[in-house]
A and B are shown apart, each in its own frame.
Chain A
Amino acid sequence: MIKPLLTRLLGHLVKQNSWARPHLQPYAGKHIRLQLFPLSATLVVLEDGGLGMAGDTAVHDASMRISPSLALRLLANDASAHSDIVLEGDTEFAIALGKVLQAMSWDYEEDLSRVVGDVAATQISQRLQEGVAATRKQAVNLTEMAAEFWQEEQPLIAKKRHVEAFNRDVDILRDDLGRLDKRMEKLSARLDALLKHHA
């Protein structure tokens, strides 16, 4: 009974974000496989612009693969993480769906208000947001502490400025090699010309 339940949740999400329907409708009938290791699911765009779980025999038109580390970056709102999502198949469809999913939000306060009333829902929502913000801050602090430890105390990861300096050195080396290559070619051509002249 997982498919009816998930389809109902997706339907609810699309209903709350009704702006999404016209963006999805051109892709009606298309299937996408979402892989977030170890989970995977295939979604279908319905004819009314909604989203549902695909059937057991569905063949996907596109796939979107997110590694666990990338998922963490996405959760941390790392803007550069989006370009690391692996898209395959009908990429136009996958990009369009990705943008819609990214922009969708769950109005849980609205849902909660139906159960506990508006005032309680607002208060619970505020507490929840405070809790999430505090947890995120603590996670960032912990990560920074760990990074500092592995950079200063037990050097395991390189500092940003060291990596940048190394990258600059590599660039200089690449340019020097390029120049050396050109000079070698020129010398080789001159040597060939001299040999021909003496022969």
Chain B
Amino acid sequence: MTDKTHFGFQTVEEHEKARKVGEVFHSVARKYDLMNDVMSAGLHRTWKRFAVEISGVKAGDRVLDVAGGSGDLSRLFSRKVGSEGSVVLTDINASMLGVGRDRLMDEGVPVPALQCDAEKLPFPDQHFDCVIVAFGLRNMTHKDRALAEMQRVLKVGGRLLVLEFSQVWKPLAPLYDAYSFKLLPLMGKLLAQDAASYQYLAESIRMHPDQETLKQMMLDAGFGKVDYYNLSAGVVALHKGWKTV
């Protein structure tokens, strides 16, 4: 008998989750950015830019973009690290990775793209100065394993940044729920002809650990210090963890 996990509000076999998540992102890949812009009123760009600024990445650094999909963060980081540094774009989903890789190539941004599972990163220990995972952790089956892997590939003094939907400020919760479960699937249906995938996105956000729980998970994964920022009243949180030993 295999272990169970959640896929949105459904409970599924663990081995099924990656396939189901893969189907969702395969379905939304082509219109992922358009939907992100519509869903967040363009705010996802501000959140991502803020994550890059807070990372403290400088010229010559090595950066790993986990679940980087459409390549937004890889593009921003490649400007920061310059020609002496390097950025690696990874995603478990070939469709999302293809979109990101093609776009970066079209823009003349030389970023290697690698399809891999965040729970088994194909990189040596202490290799990167910064690892970032934006809007990807909640889709991972074993978040603890993924966090431990990201900690492993970081150098001592390196930082992990987790940008993810989180628990919204309580007074706004009813409004946010109405938006997520009524408007979001409707927008998905109208703009991407895919209401079910966007229903999953809304559900997966609710099932994701809140700010404090994620902070504790990062500490448990071996990070010496963790701090987080609530953005847009907690709709999104940016966690920053330091590898100290």
Contact = CB atoms under 8 A, between A and B. Distances in A.
Contact-size category for B: 20 to 34
Question: Which residue of A49, A50, A55 has the most chain B CB atoms within 10 A of its CB atom?
Answer: A55
B58 A47 contact: yes
Contacts, number: 58
A29 B46 CA distance: 23
B40 to A, nearest CB: 12
A145 interface: no
Contacts of B46: 1, 4
Interface in A15-54: 28-29, 46-50, 52-54
B53 A7 contact: yes
A153 interface: no
Contacts of A48: 56-58
A59 to B, nearest CB: 9
Interface stretch (B2-10, B140-148, B202-210, B224-232): B224-232
B215 A57 contact: yes
Nearest to A10: B53
B56 A3 contact: no
A52 B232 CA distance: 17
B242 A29 contact: yes
Given A1-B46, A4-B46, A11 B228 contact: no
Given A48-B57, A55-B240, A7 B50 contact: yes
A56 interface: yes
A11 B99 CA distance: 31
A159 interface: no
Contacts of A49: 58
Interface of B: 43, 46-47, 49-50, 53-58, 157, 159, 211, 215, 225-232, 238, 240, 242
Interface of A: 1, 3-4, 7-8, 11, 28-29, 46-50, 52-58
